[in-house]
């Protein structure tokens, strides 16, 4: 399914290499993401998918290559202050939700815009409440993460990411830690964001979901992108042997 | 082990520098004489420090034995026994050790008449008794904590094998507890050794009192800082390795 | 007050149990001042030691290895030496170096004995707090730090808004233990003539020769102080409790 097609390249990755000690996790990854596009990254564990996401938003430094995101040259941002515009532009949602347990759902969403971006508190609160409504958790403003189910926590995490008004959202296997019933509610939420036109990069195991929402599917293995294409191209007519083997194990 | 040794070596060299530094602080011409004064009094003070170690060793010995008994009372089946032992333990844990020492020094008579013989009780013996009470209370708590950390499954399997409560404690629970009790017990030893200086307040001659006497004899204000620093250094050199060893044992015996 | 005082006087006359504090206004005033001084020492040291603990634990995470090393050795020094010896070092030792001259030209110590007692006790307990907070900080899941960083928090911002509140909750039980110990340790201030409870009790029993009675009163007061502190800490722990976390 192809969304509003634009030509503006939001993410440009060229020949990125990254090692953890002696283990080379990314061995020359290159890809482009344009505004409005939905990219799904699939592949076996250890293929470097999560690491790639963390390199895109500057959580992990790279050894070689270039990463340009929304006009920022990511490896050149060194100090915390320099990284703030990047953090505004790129949001990430983790597999383990990572909500702050000592704050309510509403406070979790409001914290960063108020304390980091120094925005007006009343404005942020109104936006936060609207976001909770959007992820269908109105009524849970004052609940602590410990009182919410996994799926609810993940949706709060998505709302928290949206509160920064990002141009790009990264999803790192966000449904992997949930049980099947709650997976659906989270995927529905992501789908609504996609329909709103948000640029997304998803690392996921949910192949059916990927087939439905993605504009581009990338298959990674051994630290490189083995093959990429539209869902039809990849799922139905994969060219590479490795891709076919992986898909036959999953589907 | 090598990091421990290297840390200790760094500590010793840093302290040597500190000592020299404090001697320098007193003035350039003086530092030679300050180090000489420290050296002169070292054997005297070392004897006092040795006495501190004796007091702490005796207190730990007596207190541990009493503490085991009190600890067993804490986990007894009878509610009255538990409450009574709990009261005794809390009493001696929550009272400051200096106050306990005062109590023992003032309330225990200076001689005891038993079966026609008179036993003199010098100050330091009363001090040992006072410290033993504190040790007893802490060991009881350590024992209780260790017993409670043994999973109930152990008790249940013992019971289903027809062990009596006493047999369960003696053959199954307590042997497992001993290992877990060692790190906090060593920590307690370190604390008690440091607390032996409190007896100086009550006139018992140990390293702090002797330091005071040495300073009085030298009558030189510039020696105050180095001499008191010197005593601190000795305690550090003794207690820091104990702390490192305790941490290592804690890691090794960590309850999975 | 009169019937109570009268009863205690009877107790002394009839049985020799002499609680002068109950019926003698002067002794009572003395003892209450001592009690107040103990409370003052305790509260000041508790507050100061918590601040030292938070700051020290933060510095222990510094990127500069020299700073980290300094914090480590200072903490180890205060943990492995007797508080009484530390007090003497500060009061007698440092005072001999930090000498100023009073109005009449004679040398005077720069810092008084109460101030030294508070400073020494705060450093003693503060060093322990640094260790306890450090353990609490290490127990905060690393994924929490990732989330904070990806939201744009600086290292300091993460420490202040996310790590410290969580680490504090985790380490609170152990910190409470340490603070109880601090209240008990205030009694060493006796040695530098700070007029706290033990010191004034000594004065009272020297005058009235009622050592056992004063000891009993002293014990009861310390147990009461510790009990109040424990209750307050329990209330604090409950107030900070977050559902689903730590429990």
Residues C192-239 have pLDDT tens digits of: 999 999 999 999 888 888 888 888 899 999 999 998 998 998 888 888
pTM of the predicted model as reported, rounded to 2 decimal places: 0.77
CA–CA separation, C120 vs C128, rounded Å? 13
Mean pLDDT over the full length of chain B:
84
- Closest CB to C244: pick one of A87, A112, A147: A147
- Between A208-212, B13-17, B189-193, C57-61, the lowest mean confidence (pLDDT) is in B13-17
> What tens digit of pLDDT does each residue of C87-101 get?
999 988 888 777 666
Model pLDDT for residues B214-227, shown as the tens digit of each residue: 888 888 777 888 88
Give the nearest chain C residue to A53 (CA atoms): C150
The angle, 0 to 180 degrees and rounded to 10, between the axes of the packed helices B123-149 and B174-195 is 140
* Spatial separation of the C-alpha atoms in residues C195 and C30, rounded to whole Å: 9
Structure confidence at residue A178 (pLDDT): 86
CB contact under 8 A, C97 and B231: no
Rg (CA), chain B: 23
Asked if C135 is an interface residue toward chain B (Cβ–Cβ < 8 A), one would say no
Q: How confident is the model at residue B185 (pLDDT cuts 50, 70, 90)?
A: very high
Which of C144, C165, C244 lies at the smallest CB-CB distance from A98? C144
For chains B and C, CB pairs below 8 A equal 108
Backbone angles phi, psi at A67, to 5 degrees: -135, 120
Q: Which of C93, C96, C222 sits opposite B94 (nearest CB)?
A: C222
Which residues from B are below 8 Å from C178, CB to CB? none
For CA atoms B143, B149, B150, B153, the dihedral sign is: positive
Question: Residue B207 pLDDT more than 50?
Answer: yes
Return the closest-CA partner of residue A246 out of A89, A22, A42.
A42
- What is the C-alpha to C-alpha distance for residues B129 and B104, in angstroms, rounded to an integer? 7
Pairing of strands A199-203, A168-172: parallel
Query: What string of DSSP letters covers A60-104?
Result: S--SEEEEEETTEEGGG--SHHHHHHHHHHEEEE-TT----TTS-
Cβ atoms within 10 A of the Cβ of B223, count? 24
d(C-alpha A207, C-alpha A105), whole Å: 30
Q: How far is C151 from chain A (nearest CA, A)?
A: 6
Q: Helices B207-218 and B31-74 sit at what angle, rounded to 10 degrees?
A: 160
Give the strand order in the sheet containing A9-20.
Answer: A23-34, A9-20, A64-69, A72-73
Mutate to test the interface with C, among A98, A145, A163, A164 (most CBs of C within 10 A): A98
Q: Is the dihedral of CA B196, B199, B204, B208 positive or negative?
A: positive
Choose from A91, A97, A101 for mutation: most chain C CBs within 10 A: A101
Is residue C192 less than 8 Å (CB to CB) from chain B?
Answer: no
| Chain C positions in Cβ-Cβ contact with residue B102 (cut-off 8 Å) | 198, 202, 215
Percent of chain B whose pLDDT exceeds 90: 34
A with B: touching (≥3 Cβ pairs within 8 Å): no
DSSP assignment letter at A146: G
Question: Measured between alpha carbons, how far is C222 from B91 in angstroms, rounded to an integer?
Answer: 10
Residue B171 has pLDDT above 90, yes or no: no
- Closest residue in C to B193 (Cα) is C82
For CA atoms B178, B182, B183, B185, the dihedral sign is: positive
Q: For position A1, what pLDDT does the model report?
A: 47
Please tell me the distance in Å from A148's CA to the nearest CA on chain C. Answer: 9
* Chain B residue with minimum CA distance to C199: B99
Compute the average pLDDT of residues B225-252: 90
User: Pick the residue with more confidence: B240 or A46?
Assistant: B240
**Residue-level pLDDT at B1:** 47
**B102 → chain C, closest CA residue:** C215
Does residue C247 carry a pLDDT above 50? no
* pLDDT at residue B37, rounded to an integer: 83
At A121 the pLDDT is 92
Give the residue, B153 or B227, on which the prediction is more confident.
B227
Residue B200 has pLDDT above 70, yes or no: yes
Question: Residue B29: is its pLDDT beyond 60?
Answer: no
- Report the pLDDT value the prediction gives residue A3, as an integer from 0 to 100: 55
For position B19, what pLDDT does the model report?
A: 63
Chain C residues touching residue B107 (CB < 8 angstroms):
211-212, 215
Higher pLDDT: C111 or C187? It is C187
**pLDDT tens-digit map of A128-156:** 999 999 999 989 999 998 899 989 999 99
Considering CB atoms only, which of C152, C165, C243 is closest to A147?
C243
Average pLDDT of the segment spanning A80-102: 85
Nearest alpha-carbon partner for C16 in C217, C218, C209: C209
Give the pLDDT mean for B181-206.
91
Contacts A100 to C, Cβ<8 Å: 144, 147-148, 162, 166
Handedness of CA A230, A234, A240, A242 (dihedral sign): positive
Shortest CA gap B143–chain C (Å): 17
Q: Which residue among C153, C243, C245 sits closest to A116, beta carbon to beta carbon?
A: C153
Q: Which of A53, A56, A69, A80 to mutate to test the interface with C (most CBs of C within 10 A)?
A: A80
**Closest by Cβ to C82, choosing from B25, B103, B235:** B235
Euclidean distance between CA atoms A109 and C155, whole angstroms: 20
Q: Which value, in Å, is the radius of gyration of the alpha carbons in chain C? A: 23
Q: What is the 3-state secondary structure (H, E, C) of chain B?
A: CHHHHHHHHHHHHHHHHHHHHHHHHCCCCCHHHHHHHHHHHHHHHHHHHHHHHHHHHHHHHHHHHHHHHHHHHHCCCCHHHHHHHHHHHHHHHHCCHHHHHHHHHHHCCCEEEECCEEEECCHHHHHHHHHHHHHHHHHHHHHHHHHHHCCHHHHHHHHHCCCCHHHHHHHHHHHHHHHHHHHHHHHHHHHHHHHHHHHHHHCCCCHHHHHHHHHHHHCCHHHHHHHHHHHHHHHHHHHHHHHHHHHHHHHHCCCC
Q: Rounded to a whole number, what is the distance in Å from the CA of B150 to chain C's nearest CA?
A: 21
Average pLDDT, chain C: 86
Give the nearest chain B residue to C183 (CA atoms): B96
- Partners of residue C86 in chain B, C-beta under 8 Å: 232
Interval B48-65 mean pLDDT: 94
| Coil, helix or strand at residue A140 | coil
Say yes or no for a CB contact (<8 Å) between C81 and B236.
yes
Section A232-240 average pLDDT = 85
Contact C88 B208 (CB under 8 A): yes
> Residues 105 to 144 of A: which have CB under 8 A from any C CB?
111-112, 115-117, 144
**pLDDT (average), residues C31-50:** 94
Across C13-27, average pLDDT: 78
- How near does any CA of chain B get to the CA of C177, in Å? 11
B66-80: b or e for each residue (b if 16 or more CB lie within 10 Å)?
A: bbbebbbbbbeeeee
Instruction: Please tell me the distance from the alpha carbon of residue A245 to that of residue C121, in angstroms, as a whole number.
Output: 68
Flag whether pLDDT at B55 surpasses 90. Answer: yes
Chain B residues near residue C94 by CB distance under 8 angstroms: 225
- The pLDDT of residue B23: 56
- pLDDT for position B5: 61
Task: Give the pLDDT mean for C138-158.
Answer: 88
> What are A114's two structure tokens?
């108020």
Nearest to A146 among C148, C154, C245 (CB): C245
Q: Which of B77-81, B155-159, C36-40, C195-199 has the lowest mean pLDDT?
A: B155-159
Name the DSSP letter for residue A12: E
Percentage of residues of chain A with pLDDT beyond 70: 98
In the prediction, which pLDDT does C196 show? 92
ipTM (interface predicted TM):
0.84
* Residue partners of C220: CB distance under 8 A and separation at least 6: none
Q: Please indicate if any CB of chain C lies within 8 Å of the CB of A146.
A: yes
Average pLDDT over residues C121-131: 94
Instruction: Give whichever of A235-239, B1-5, C10-14 has the largest mean pLDDT.
Output: A235-239
Question: Is C182 within 8 Å of chain B by CB?
Answer: no
């Amino acid at each position: 399914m192809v969304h509003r097609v634009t030509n503006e390249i939001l993410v440009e990755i060229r020949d990125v290499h990254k090692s953890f000690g002696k283990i080379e996790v990314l061995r020359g990854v290159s890809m482009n993401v344009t505004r409005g596009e939905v990219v799904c990254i699939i592949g076996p564990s250890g293929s470097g998918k999560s690491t790639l996401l963390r390199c895109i938003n500057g959580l992990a430094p790279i050894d070689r290559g270039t990463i340009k995101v929304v006009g920022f040259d990511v490896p050149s941002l060194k100090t915390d202050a320099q990284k703030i515009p990047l953090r505004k532009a790129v949001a990430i949602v983790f597999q383990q939700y990572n909500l702050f347990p000592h704050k309510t759902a509403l406070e979790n969403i409001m914290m960063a815009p108020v304390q980091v971006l120094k925005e007006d508190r009343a404005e942020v609160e109104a936006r936060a409440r609207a976001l909770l409504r959007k992820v269908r958790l109105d009524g849970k403003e004052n609940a602590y993460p410990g009182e919410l189910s996994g799926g609810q926590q993940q949706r709060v995490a998505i709302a928290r990411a949206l509160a920064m008004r990002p141009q790009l959202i990264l999803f790192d296997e966000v449904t992997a830690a949930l049980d099947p019933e709650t997976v659906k509610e989270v995927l529905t939420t992501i789908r609504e964001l996609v329909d709103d036109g948000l640029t997304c990069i998803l690392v996921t195991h949910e192949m059916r979901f990927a087939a439905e929402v993605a504009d581009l599917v990338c298959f990674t293995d051994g630290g490189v992108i083995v093959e990429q294409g539209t869902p039809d191209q990849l799922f139905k007519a994969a060219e590479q042997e490795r891709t076919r083997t992986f898909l036959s194990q999953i589907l | 082990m090598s990091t421990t040794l290297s840390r200790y070596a760094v500590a010793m060299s840093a302290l040597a520098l500190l000592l020299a530094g404090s001697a320098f602080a007193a003035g350039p011409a003086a530092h030679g004489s300050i180090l000489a004064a420290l050296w002169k009094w070292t054997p005297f003070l070392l004897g006092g420090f040795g006495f501190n170690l004796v007091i702490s060793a005796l207190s730990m010995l007596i207190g541990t034995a009493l503490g085991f008994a009190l600890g067993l009372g804490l986990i007894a089946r009878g509610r009255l026994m538990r409450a009574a032992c709990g009261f005794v333990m809390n009493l001696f844990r929550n009272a400051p050790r200096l106050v306990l020492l005062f109590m023992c020094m003032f309330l225990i008579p200076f001689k005891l008449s038993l079966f026609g013989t008179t036993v003199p009780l010098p100050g330091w013996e009363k001090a040992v008794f006072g410290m033993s009470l504190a040790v007893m209370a802490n060991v009881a708590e350590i024992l209780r904590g260790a017993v409670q950390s043994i999973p109930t499954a152990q008790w249940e399997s013992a019971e289903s094998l027809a062990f009596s409560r006493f047999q369960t404690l003696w053959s199954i629970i307590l042997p497992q507890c001993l290992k877990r009790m060692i790190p906090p017990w060593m920590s307690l030893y370190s604390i008690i050794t440091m607390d032996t200086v409190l007896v100086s307040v009550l006139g018992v001659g140990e390293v702090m009192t002797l330091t005071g006497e040495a300073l009085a004899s030298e009558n030189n204000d510039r020696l105050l800082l180095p001499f008191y620093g010197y005593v601190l250094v000795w305690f550090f050199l003794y207690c820091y390795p104990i702390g490192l060893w305790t941490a290592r044992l804690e890691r090794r015996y960590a309850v999975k | 007050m009169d019937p109570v005082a009268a009863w205690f006087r009877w107790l002394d006359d009839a049985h020799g149990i002499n609680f002068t504090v109950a019926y003698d206004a002067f002794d009572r005033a003395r003892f209450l001042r001592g009690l107040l001084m103990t409370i003052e020492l305790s509260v000041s040291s508790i507050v100061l030691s918590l601040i030292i603990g938070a700051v020290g634990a933060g510095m222990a995470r510094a990127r500069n290895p020299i700073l980290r090393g300094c914090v480590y050795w200072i903490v180890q020094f205060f943990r492995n030496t007797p508080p009484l010896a530390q007090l003497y070092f500060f009061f007698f030792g440092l005072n001999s170096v930090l000498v100023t001259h009073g109005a009449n030209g004679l040398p005077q110590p720069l810092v008084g004995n109460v101030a030294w007692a508070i400073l020494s006790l705060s450093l003693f307990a503060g060093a322990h707090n640094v260790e306890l907070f450090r353990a609490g900080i290490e127990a905060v899941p690393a994924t929490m730090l990732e989330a904070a960083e990806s939201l744009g928090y600086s290292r300091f911002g993460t420490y202040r808004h996310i790590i410290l509140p969580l680490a504090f909750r985790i380490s609170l039980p152990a910190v409470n233990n340490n603070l109880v110990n601090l209240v008990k340790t205030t009694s060493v201030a006796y040695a530098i003539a700070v007029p706290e409870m033990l010191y004034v009790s000594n004065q009272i029993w020297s005058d009235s020769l009622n050592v056992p009675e004063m000891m009993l009163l002293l014990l009861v007061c310390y147990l009461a102080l510790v009990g109040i502190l424990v209750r307050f800490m329990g209330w604090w722990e409950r107030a900070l409790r977050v559902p689903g976390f730590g429990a």
